[in-house]
């Protein structure tokens, strides 16, 4: 059976990502989370959860990896 969503969400991609994270968290595969969300034009919220909230220094390598991936994505986009 396929579930059909009758409501169109403009942020479907964000909802899908959050649902995937929820599945991973419920299975115990996610123990820490560092996040940045855009709540409006030029408005952002950032936070830490789980192990990163208890030990913020452990989030630094993960955030540096994210920064590297963002810079790489931007470089690839500009080269195209």
Delimit the domains of the chain by residue range: 31-79
Give the tokens for residue 9.
Answer: 């969400």
**pTM score above 0.85:** no
Considering only CA atoms, which of 67, 30, 73 is closest in space to residue 52?
30
Mean pLDDT to the nearest integer, 7-19: 83
Helical (H) or strand (E) element with 78: helix 59-79
- 18-55 pLDDT, tens digit per residue, is 999 999 999 999 999 999 999 999 999 999 999 999 99
């Amino acid at each position: 059976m396929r579930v059909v969503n009758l409501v169109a969400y403009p942020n479907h991609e964000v909802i899908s990502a959050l649902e995937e994270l929820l599945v991973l968290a419920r299975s115990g595969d996610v123990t820490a989370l560092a996040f940045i969300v855009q709540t409006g034009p030029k408005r952002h919220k950032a936070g830490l959860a789980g192990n990163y909230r208890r030990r913020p220094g452990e989030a630094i390598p993960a955030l540096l990896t994210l920064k590297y991936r963002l810079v790489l994505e931007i470089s690839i986009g500009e080269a195209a």
